[in-house]
Amino acid sequence: MVELVVGIVLTAALTAVLGGILAPSIKDRIDRDRERFDSSIELVDTLANSLWAYWKLALRLAYYGRKGDSGKDYDLALQRWNGDDAWKLGADIQMQLSRSKRLLPLVAHEKLDKTQRAVVKDLDDEIERLQHSKKPAEWQEFYDSLMNEKRAEIDRLLTDVTSDLKL
């Protein structure tokens, strides 16, 4: 009888200790994982929106540049490319890369940083060169590259980030 009472008391005490210590610890872990997951989703969404908007600005400029007329549409596209919104998109992309350092392993972040430079810096450099040359054939080549290689690079970058974040 004493053994039964001692067993019940020990079981109750163990249940109370484990329930009081283990349950909150598990809940904290689940909450941290959920917060990290939500932050990762937000990172990918924001990065995707910024990269595709930047790409679209370049595509619009290339579209009008390939027509060979430096008319109103080309001038507006160039003005938008050089405007505050484009600069803000570039800053947003850089901020998301900085934020990714807290969520991604070092190797994944280095890959993301390298790919981002290959996309954004290449677009900046190529548009800088083309707006001075104004040759429709070169704009056409750039337009084709945006529709094929750059589009694929952005898709790969976002797919890799999603994979690295285990989403």
pLDDT at 4: 67
What are the structure tokens assigned to 41, written together?
Answer: 């989703």
| Of 92, 91, 114, residue with least CA distance to 161 | 114
pLDDT at 126: 93
Q: What is the mean pLDDT of residues 119-148?
A: 91
pLDDT at 18: 59
Question: Locate tokens 């001692």: which residue?
Answer: 6
pLDDT higher than 70, residue 20 = no
What are the structure tokens assigned to 22, written together?
Answer: 């283990």
Report d(CA 163, CA 160) in Å as an integer: 5
Residue 37 — very low, low, confident or very high, per pLDDT cuts 50/70/90? Answer: confident
pLDDT higher than 80, residue 98 = yes
Write the DSSP symbol of residue 57.
H
What are the structure tokens assigned to 159, written together?
Answer: 């797919």
Contacts by 98-105, CB closer than 8 A, 24 or more apart: 99/43, 100/43, 100/47, 100/161, 103/36, 103/39, 103/40, 103/43, 103/165, 104/161, 104/164, 104/165, 105/164
Is the CB of residue 59 less than 8 Å from the CB of residue 147? yes
pTM of the model: 0.77
pLDDT at 73: 92
Least confident stretch, 30-44, 60-74, 86-100: 30-44
Share of the chain above pLDDT 90, in %: 34
pLDDT higher than 70, residue 19 = no
Share of the chain above pLDDT 70, in %: 83
- At residue 104, the 3 state secondary structure works out as coil
